[in-house]
């Protein structure tokens, strides 16, 4: 991955963070914004780029976690790494110390570039409300959108994902902050307890608000 270019002066387009608990529906919301022609930057995708063969963070991960977190084909073994970080908070902290500064740097550079030609840009950051994450974003995000779903709903959704059992699902939920903390930093709220169509209507309404155009299109 190429090094980010220097960040230019802030352009007119707003840069908005998108967050929510695991299985809250962030990816669906991001897809809806993309359908509307809004640039969406996914920090999870940037993270994957950083650990690919030749990626910026791969050498540090190999040094810290060893070859056992990589598959024979060279790809990161996400299940093996997830088991380690769920079992030991210090392992999680070590991984975040490697990845998060690089993710933020790339996300900010790309967001500023996209905002030069878009009314607003979405930066999806799953852990945005975590106390160790938010301080590094709050000075350059112009607002935050939070997707909300209750814990039971999110647990049910998690259990439909391949390779996740109940214990792992509960561990993932327990490892994150709660919706109260997310909403405390949020400017806009999207509720995802109903159907995808209901969620999409909320996104359409918010898009109109952010563009300064009438809603109910």
What backbone phi and psi angles, to 5 degrees, belong to 47?
Answer: -60, -45
For the domain that residue 108 is a member of, what is the CATH number? Answer: 3.40.50.300
Report if residue 22 sits inside a domain.
yes
- DSSP for 112-176, please give it: HHHHTSSSEEEEE-TTTTSTTTGGGTTTT-SEEEEEE--HHHHHHHHTTSTT--HHHHHHHHHTS
Band (215; pLDDT cuts 50, 70, 90): very low
Per-residue pLDDT tens digits for 133-181: 999 999 999 999 999 998 888 888 888 888 888 888 888 888 788 889 9
**Torsion on CA atoms 122, 123, 127, 129, rounded to nearest 10:** -60
Residue 2, pLDDT score? 44
Q: Does residue 4 lie in a domain region?
A: no
Does residue 191 fall inside a structural domain? yes
pLDDT of residue 10: 58
> Is residue 180 a part of any domain in this protein?
yes
User: Three-class SS of residue 83?
Assistant: helix
Residue 121 lies in a domain: yes
CB-based contacts of 60, cutoff 8 Å, min separation 6: 98
What is the domain count for the chain?
1
Least confident of 8-22, 41-55, 133-147, 194-208: 8-22
Q: What are the CA-CA distances from residue 191 to residues 25, 113, 140, 147, 194 (Å)?
A: 9, 30, 25, 6, 8
Q: How many CB atoms lie within 10 A of CB 75?
A: 12
7 within a domain of the structure (yes/no): no
């Amino acid at each position: 991955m190429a090094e980010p270019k220097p960040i230019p002066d802030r352009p007119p387009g707003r840069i908005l963070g998108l967050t929510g608990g695991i299985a809250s529906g962030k990816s669906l919301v991001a897809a809806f914004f993309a359908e509307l022609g809004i640039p969406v930057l996914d920090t999870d995708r940037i993270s994957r780029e950083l650990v690919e063969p030749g990626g910026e963070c791969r050498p540090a991960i190999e040094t810290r976690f060893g070859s056992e977190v990589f598959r024979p084909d060279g790809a990161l073994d996400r299940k093996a790494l997830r088991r380690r970080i769920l079992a030991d908070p210090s392992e999680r902290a070590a991984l975040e110390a490697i990845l998060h500064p690089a993710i933020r740097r790339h996300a900010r550079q790309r967001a500023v570039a996209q905002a030069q030609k878009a009314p607003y840009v979405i930066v999806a950051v799953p852990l945005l409300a975590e106390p160790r994450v938010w301080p590094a974003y709050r000075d350059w995000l112009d607002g935050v959108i939070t997707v909300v779903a209750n814990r039971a709903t999110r647990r049910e959704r998690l259990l439909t994902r391949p390779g996740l059992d109940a214990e792992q699902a509960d561990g993932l939920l327990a490892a994150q902050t709660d919706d109260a903390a997310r909403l405390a930093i949020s400017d806009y709220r999207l509720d995802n307890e109903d159907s995808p169509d209901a969620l999409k209507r909320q996104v359409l309404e918010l898009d109109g608000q952010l563009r300064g155009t009438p809603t109910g299109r």
